[in-house]
Amino acid sequence: MGDIIIARRAILGLLAASVSAARPRAAALAQPAGKHRPPLRRPSHPRHPVRPRPLRAIAIDPGHGGIDPGAVGPDGLYEKAITLATAVELARQLDATGRFRAVLTRDRDAFVPLRERVARARAHRVELFLSIHADALPDSTLRGLSVYTLSDQASDREAALLAIRENKENFVGGVKLSREPPVIGSILLDLARRQTNNSSLVLARAVVSELGRMVPLLEKPHRAAGFAVLTAPDVPSVLVELGCLSNPREEHLLQEPRYRRLLVQGLLRAIDDYFAAYTAA
């Protein structure tokens, strides 16, 4: 009897050992070694999706056009052709940056009145206005690039004319002047004009700085005059004379696409410098 009990215990012990050995083996078969099932996670969605930054609109104004050829070089090169070719290339490179949106005041050989050029630019709410020209001087030996901003006297005169001519039915700096009392409207117009003039000076200096490293400049390259296309009271504006068509050497250079691309690259860097200056301020 004792032998039977001992044998039964031995059999039970063997069965228990075999079950215990089988459990980790089954677990190992259920989940391979070295692999762990990752915890379930809900897909994350940002509460505020990132929106692309709006492009900065830049007006490019090719001078003259249509029945107005502008200056004519010794070999018969028309200013209107040079300004359009340069403006189109500048617009292309501005668009290619992905940061800017170019607005051409004319994109073909057509006559556009000066006031309409400014109106077209402001309708697109541009942040800068660059008018592209080529100079002609009595002295054909002179050559070089120059930049114009609006003179103080011309600016004062144009500000007054703007209020009278348009009966102040205009937006300046995002404010509709017709909704303001006359005194307030005049103050807002004056403040906008002063800020615009200061910003125009920053842009002009950037153009002189960048282009001066690459091409000849006229003596005193930054000048002031009462150009009608520079009179937008709330848009920093410059007029760039790419060179002197009256100079045979410069007339030849302005016909070369490679030279015009060089000018465009300098203008593009000047625009970048302008916005970098205001971003850092």
Q: Above 90 in pLDDT, residue 168?
A: no
Q: Above 90 in pLDDT, residue 235?
A: yes
Higher pLDDT, 225 or 15: 225
pLDDT at residue 195, rounded to an integer = 82
User: Residues 69, 91, 215, CA angle at the centre, nearest 5°?
Assistant: 70
What average pLDDT does the segment 154-168 reach? Answer: 48
Q: Is 55 exposed, middle or buried (0-12, 13-18, 19+ CB in 10 A)?
A: middle
Q: Can you list the pairs that 269-274 forms with residues at least 24 positions away whose Cβ atoms lie under 8 Å?
A: 269/210, 270/203, 270/206, 270/207, 270/209, 270/210, 270/211, 271/58, 271/94, 271/100, 271/128, 271/130, 271/203, 271/206, 273/206, 273/209, 273/210, 274/128, 274/199, 274/202, 274/203, 274/206, 274/236
What average pLDDT does the segment 220-247 reach? Answer: 92
Q: Above 70 in pLDDT, residue 184?
A: no
- Per-chain mean pLDDT for the chain: 79
What average pLDDT does the segment 199-219 reach? Answer: 96
Superfamily of domain 56-152+196-280: Zn-dependent exopeptidases (3.40.630.40)
Confidence band of 227 (pLDDT split at 50, 70, 90) = confident
pLDDT at residue 23, rounded to an integer = 46
Distance CA 84, CA 36 (A): 67
Distance CA 30, CA 273 (A): 65
State percent of the chain over pLDDT 90.
57
